[in-house]
Structure 1
């Protein structure tokens, strides 16, 4: 087996059921799969623009959408790394919440300056990611079970430390003020999110590690046969996830102005989860990818914003987010199965 085989993506692997490559899709159906979400977003924007003239497409509303989704987008990016390797990290949301508490606490409780507080917050995320990686890659625990356990432990620690009270005093204005800063009319947090997403895209698509991770997620047995260090690759995917969760935690403090112990639960994570799986239905259907993930979150944020402006009840948003996860996971699994013969979510 050549080195080229080891770097193949899930869309390029033979069917596990037949041992033969599946027949390529027709040109039109391929275009619809790759860009269907883009078309749906355009239609959605057009509908809300007609229903809410002068409101939905206003600069204030567009900036609100961009600002409100910046942290969630970074969290969604964190989710992508383990999923590319065929694993799942449910603890990303709890990790984000913990890192926001740590960052805020370093400034509020110990008086540390901004930069050391940020570094400690991100380091906390990396440490949680390393723990997840050890549990999954080296101890062989199912990734969903392991990260669910870690998530529950984190939630308990956060509640015990904060007693459910947000940490908001003595936080650097340089951090909290970022939520109001604009560059050419674009929120700074949104720009930072795009930079972080671009960095994640580069790691996953333009580096040897990224190609190895896709190879492991595509066919771990084949990756083992060509000598790839499977355990180390899988562990590092969780470390990457933890690092991005840590950064998202810092940005959460900037966006909200405090360290909120209520942030990080499954409801908070739902839009990010839906975005990741919606992203796997577009551009490169059946394959987790960063551009699709960002687009998926923009689609969800657009729908939620439009519904809110139309005055729907708050429970509709929860139903929409939950339904989006189910539909997105189903479509992602369908596209992956059509190309690889398998649709396993995680090990």
Structure 2
């Protein structure tokens, strides 16, 4: 009696197996669109407005205006990034920026001190507000949204009490107020300064130990604590970084507008920065708050608003656009964050 041993069938040399399936291709396309959908949409918006408004939108003057006007908001958006990376929310960044703008202007106009002292005072005040927020949130355990909303309201009252609602414009250093008109190799100086700040923020968030600690806390506090990370101190430092950047943004706001404006810092001022941060979390690194995506998101919004304004749309359309951008951006970033971490909530 003979037995037949089972053998494994091997494909003949002429047979080929597909290396990709339609599902894999669709998945790769979906991943690519998630990462680069916003930059592609940005390019499309630029092309459309350039075709519709070739004489105005496509002019170098308009691009310089966009670069200058969005530079301050870009720094505000960077300030928002730090607490958000840890899963917290700092609503007071806008009000803090307005306060620091008034502080710097008052130091120069009311106390007749040099611009360098004004800059230092603004950064110190902004950082101090960050320390207060961080202590309340990290060490007292108060919800970050409630905490920073309250701090923002207090700041607004202080600013109004000091200025009586009147901008501070006399007695400011020309070396600061003149920055908005200065160019460096044809590029607005404020935009160059913003890029330098952005490079520093990128390094801290992406390449440094503190940045990795922030991301670890935001991903899972329990896991971060188990591996020995100082969770409370990390959260505190995220708010301090936000306050420091708000102080810098306040100084740049004077350079951009030429005065210390007590109206700066309201929700209308914050909306584009908020939308930019959440839009940024839908691109480049979907589900993760990241600097490059944030900057792209901000200039996408600024460019779209510039195009709409040049087309002569009613002012309320700009408000609607900003509001819708925030809603859509928050929704999309929540979806991507849920995919990455299993939880979409922020603002502990």
TM-score (ref. length: structure 1): 0.92
CA displacement 1:179-210 (0-9 Å, x = unmatched): 00001111000110011011001001111000
Aligned-pair distance for 1:54?
2.3
Aligned-pair distance for 1:132?
0.3
Q: Supply the RMSD in Å over aligned alpha carbons.
A: 1.2
Aligned-pair distance for 1:339?
2.1
**Other-structure match for 2:112:** 111
Q: How does 1:1-347 map to 2 (within 5 A)?
A: 26-347=27-348
| Cα distance in 2, alignment partners of residues 325 and 42 from structure 1 | 20
CA displacement 1:296-334 (0-9 Å, x = unmatched): 001000100000000000000000000000000000001
For the pair shown, the structure with the greater C-alpha radius of gyration is 2
Moved over 3 A (4+): none
Aligned-pair distance for 1:28?
1.0
| Structure 1, gaps ≥5 residues long | 1-22
| Cα distance in 1, alignment partners of residues 296 and 186 from structure 2 | 20
Aligned-pair distance for 1:280?
0.3
Aligned-pair distance for 1:237?
0.1
| Cα distance in 2, alignment partners of residues 72 and 170 from structure 1 | 25
SS at match of 1:45: helix
| Cα distance in 1, alignment partners of residues 42 and 325 from structure 2 | 14
| Structure 2, gaps ≥5 residues long | 1-23
Aligned-pair distance for 1:294?
0.3
| Cα distance in 2, alignment partners of residues 29 and 231 from structure 1 | 37
SS at match of 1:57: coil
| Cα distance in 2, alignment partners of residues 339 and 249 from structure 1 | 34
| Cα distance in 1, alignment partners of residues 157 and 151 from structure 2 | 10
Aligned-pair distance for 1:97?
0.1
| Cα distance in 1, alignment partners of residues 137 and 267 from structure 2 | 21
| Cα distance in 1, alignment partners of residues 339 and 127 from structure 2 | 35
CA displacement 1:252-310 (0-9 Å, x = unmatched): 01111110000000110000000000000000000000010000001000100000000
| Cα distance in 2, alignment partners of residues 110 and 340 from structure 1 | 51
| Cα distance in 2, alignment partners of residues 123 and 328 from structure 1 | 32
Aligned-pair distance for 1:122?
0.7
**Other-structure match for 2:3:** none
Aligned-pair distance for 1:340?
1.8
Q: How many residue pairs end up in the alignment?
A: 325
TM-score (ref. length: structure 2): 0.92
Aligned-pair distance for 1:341?
1.3
SS at match of 1:26: helix
Aligned-pair distance for 1:101?
0.1
| Cα distance in 2, alignment partners of residues 204 and 337 from structure 1 | 21
CA displacement 1:114-158 (0-9 Å, x = unmatched): 101110011000000000000000010000000000000000000
| Cα distance in 1, alignment partners of residues 342 and 122 from structure 2 | 41
CA displacement 1:218-256 (0-9 Å, x = unmatched): 000000111111000000000000000000000001111
SS at match of 1:140: coil
Report which structure shows greater RCO (CA 8 Å, sep ≥6): 1
Aligned-pair distance for 1:53?
1.4
| Cα distance in 2, alignment partners of residues 167 and 339 from structure 1 | 46
